[in-house]
Structure 1
Amino acid sequence: MADPTSYRPRPGEIPTDPGVYRFRDEHGRIIYVGKAKNLRSRLNSYFANPATLLPKTYAMVHHAAGVQWTVVGSELEALVLEYTWIKEFAPRYNLAFRDDKTYPYLAVTMSEAIPRVQVMRGERRKGTKYFGPYTAGAIRETMDTLLRVFPVRTCSPGVLKRAQRSGRPCLLGYIDKCSAPCVGRISEEDHRALAQEFCDFMGGEAKRFIGKLEKSMAEAVAELDYERAARLRDDIAALRKVFERNAVVLSEDTNADIFAVEQDDLEAAVQVFHVRGGRIRGQRGWVVEKVEDSSGPELVEHLLQQVYGAEEAQHENIPRQVLVPELPTNHEQLAVWLGGLRGAKVDIRIPQRGEKAKLMETVQANARQAMALHKSRRAGDITSRSLALAELQEALELPMPLLRIECYDISHVQGTNVVASMVVVEDGLAKKSEYRKFAITGDAAIDDTASMHDVITRRFRHYLAEREARAAGETASGASGEVDAEAGEGHRGKFAYPPNLVVVDGGPPQVAAAARALTELGIDDVAVVGLAKRLEEVWVPGSDFPVILPRASEGLYLLQRIRDEAHRFAITFHRAKRAKAMTASVLDTVPGLGPAKRGEVLRHFGSLKKARAATVGELADVKGVGPVLAGAIHRVLHEAAGSTAPAVNMTTGEVLEDEPR
């Protein structure tokens, strides 16, 4: 008997969307299928105190060895998918649908002279239109709601004949739930048109009918008939609910495989929904190693070749349509190839609108969830982290375990607002409290190598200073054994701990600059590598050739994750600094004009151009600006106007106003 805690998902892994979940045993067999409005809330209930679980649930969670889930667009889609999979896999712990019954459908017998709306199960009949499936309670509510707007016949053939003979309608005719064609209140032609409208509404043309009811409701309000308006309001809400319930069902002739891909630089999460007869009959998902430098269309091409070209693939199960997020460049040839395997035409295309496009969005959401789940598990798994650190240590031939790694990245726009970031990973996990950011100015901002040299120098100069201060403190207190009351045992400076490995974003030039900075400081026990983005090559100082890590290695994944985090952190700081610099203007050079008063000047006049056109007296009218300061502002503005250069952003060089010079 398995322990549920051994396969319980980590906190935050389960989405809060509606969906369908599946418990599997140790052999991979599905033993339970369920649906939920909120997957996280429902699944967490299975891992509660065992004493609170029902006997069947207790047995199921201890029999299972894993749990998976599929995100869908609504509760109604979850209902349909749950039913489909229960019928498909017959899980041993699903008791509600183990019999031979099917979900009821709402059917309209258009083949009869006087069409009838009824609830039907079992085999389909020719000449009858079906809508659904629904639960037993929902279908009765749906019929009751729709008969208010579309009073189509619902009585049996016996009741219809009896009413025709007697000339009196049944009870539904008296309460306006039937238009009573049996007694001539409506002709058979008009009744058939009414039944067709019923079918049109159920087929997706809800807006026209709901709009008609909304217009009637507005007329009722205008006539102060609030009771009728309230009934129409309730009918509109009910019809909208009915339309939502029916909208998740694809047409019965839909046979398609719908693919979606979520990818990063190294891997891709693939999801495919198998739709047969308008219902989702199955779902598959996996994470694959990407082909090197492959684009989206190329990835889709390889995916289709592997899925349908495998020897174990049943070619008779290839559908008529293959819906993909991006068309391969050779999609016409692929379609011919798949058609040859299937023995009939196959269409490969991107769904643009309608139900198939909506279902594609659902499949894409599952792919995103699968990739996020894969990344979180891979990053959080202690085994994977240990393997990644061990792989890096072995590949770089380092003598010490990589307990602490620091990664540096430079960010700027054409040499302006140059900043750098430092992110820290300890034991394979990000330590955000140790992140640092650097502003780079002067000669250090000339290029990336100079910036990298400056940042590494500043970071490790701080480390050496703190190490010397700590050593001095220990020497001073060593005789008495006292601890510095200000520092305390747990004190550590901003740069107190050195890393075992420094990772820089870049190739040989950046690596050489970082290594030179460490050598100049006399630090020889910190390794340096660079990760080049284009081919994910790992460069070491003084080497003519990079270290190539396997594309699927945990070590490369860890380096990539650290590099991306350093880039994100640097970009965030750069944008903040750039936004702040955009507010710089010639007013910054006015002596005695601080940020608050500078803001008052701009708010008072609305622009720098209008402030320049103002007189000293008008400038003195600004709140907080006296005659002396107004004169200084006037002098600086007109000196700037008399120069040959336009008023510009003092940091970026961007022109701040558009006027002739």
Structure 2
Amino acid sequence: MKRPAAGTIPDEPGSYQFKDRHGRVIYVGKASSLRQRLSNYFQNPKNLHPRTAQMVETAETVEWTIVRNEVEALMLEYSLIKEHDPRFNVRLRDDKSYPFLAVTADDQWPRAVVMRGRKKKGTRYYGPYAHAYAIRDTLDLLLRSFPIRTCSQNKFNEHERLGRPCLLFHIEKCAGPCVGEIEEMEYRQLVTELCQFLDGDTDEIVDRLEADMREAATSLEFEQAARLRDRLEAVRKAIAKQQMVADKNEDLDVFGIADDELEASVQVFYVRKGRVVGRKGFILDKVEELTPGKMIDRILESMYGEEPVVGVPKQVLVPYEPDDRETYEQWLEMIRGSRVQVRVPQRGDKRSLLETVTRNAKEEFTRHRMRRATDHNTRSRALTELQHALDLPEAPLRIECYDMAHLQGTDYVGSMVVLEDGLPAKREYRRFKVNTVGGEVVGGGSDDYAAMAEVVRRRLQAYLDDRDRPIDERSGPQDEDAPSKQRERKPGKFAYPPQLLLVDGGKGQVSATQRVVEELGLADEIPVAGLAKRFEEVYVPGRSEPIEIARGSEALFMLQRIRDEAHRFANTFHGERRSKRMTVSALDGIPGLGEVRKKKLVKAMGGVNAVKKASLDELQAHSFLPDAVAEAIHTKFHA
């Protein structure tokens, strides 16, 4: 990579983006002084961290955007990372969707429900919880004290129409709003009290229930007093389930980290009003050079960059000091609207709490490594074996495999499946309808080769089109007020080339594919191989004999796995197309001829062929068929 001319890099805060030769953003960073930060990259590569050196070697250009201060640089960096997902920036992986206890506050009759995934406006969320059953256990206790509905809207409407409540009303876990057993204002009060309880305001609710119970007993309303006693007992059980870890007036987010050279396990406990109200964990991929402080930077950006569901607390406890604590505190204060402190507790209860969360992170990291140890090592070994066996310039981190499917030459389809770092990348899978293999395709080897060539050509041509298109033409509609460096869009769906292009087949399929690669001028960039089913032999262009890859080796197993996945994906698509074609009738699409008339007409005339041959008078003779529809049918088959 060529260093920018001396004096051209500004000594001001901003965000910088390294790009590869195709214009793709591969790394995004921020700096209080762009000149000082970028100068660190242009030194002897031996002095750089290996990951940083690899990034600089891959980069072709570097660009930057100047902003007014370090907080704006942080915000711009986050938005660019989210937009471009650069390959050399840290990635936070969360392989599960954590459940929340949600209260649909904007509904006329709000309900409590377990929710996952995308958050909705007008709904209040509490958690996240480690498991859905933890929410249901808590909710089961709370409904005895705050009996709001948990049913779906369809079920609510059904019981409202029937005028009879469901079982939950009879066991006193619902106030029965569907049948008018409670006024709306009184129901809203229950919802408010439930939300207060979940927010941690428990003392006021306990005091009020105790006072109401004593008043009912004094008034000799013993049944009401007993019900209030049961509600109070349920509330106290729910409070006991919420672990008290800090003073009642404290709101904290506590981060614990356990890591090695490649990954880190992060656990966060959400503490509100002194009680743990939720927790979350994820794995961080160290694809860039990370000091402990910079790792905290990345974690804070990921946790608070989107609108936090449980909000930003007054204090954020972390195991290491952020590289630029003051900037991150200013940023969090902008989100919260009041002062936020990011600090490393040194002693006392908060230090003990941080150690507890860190122990959770270590235990989760141990479980993660046990789950992935064999898999991770196996995939790395398989990719290295493939590199050596096929004489590839680098380990094939992106492998694409292609397969064809048809039935006696009809409904030809192709599939493309992708392995990234040895794992299926299903978001990258693609399906192809084959259009030009001899018109009406008939079976035979040459047709298979031509179909494979068409699919590969379309995929690689799309890659070339995206690669060679100027950045300005990729951008689409732009906001003229936005900085020019922010206007770029993500690359197209075929923007990344394979480091190994694998086809399902032997020498014939490999030769046909290699001809396409050579025609498009990609022979030096994209290696081709084929896996033949008969003896699981691997063929490469220019070699008549198969390459010997030891049976039972991890490399051969990986090739078999992606080949079988491509075969499954192609056959699934082929089955869908055949089913659709077989259910299509010649009478479909005629204006005015719906399903009922179609069935009547076919039955009356003795079949579809009779309808196709019928004269206009014969069609108009049927009383259920308007003249305009009869004319449309006749025109379609006699035009």
Return the TM-score normalized by structure 1.
Answer: 0.36
Higher CA-based Rg? 1
The one of the two structures with greater contact order (alpha-carbon pairs below 8 A, sep at least 6) is 2
TM-score by length of 2: 0.37
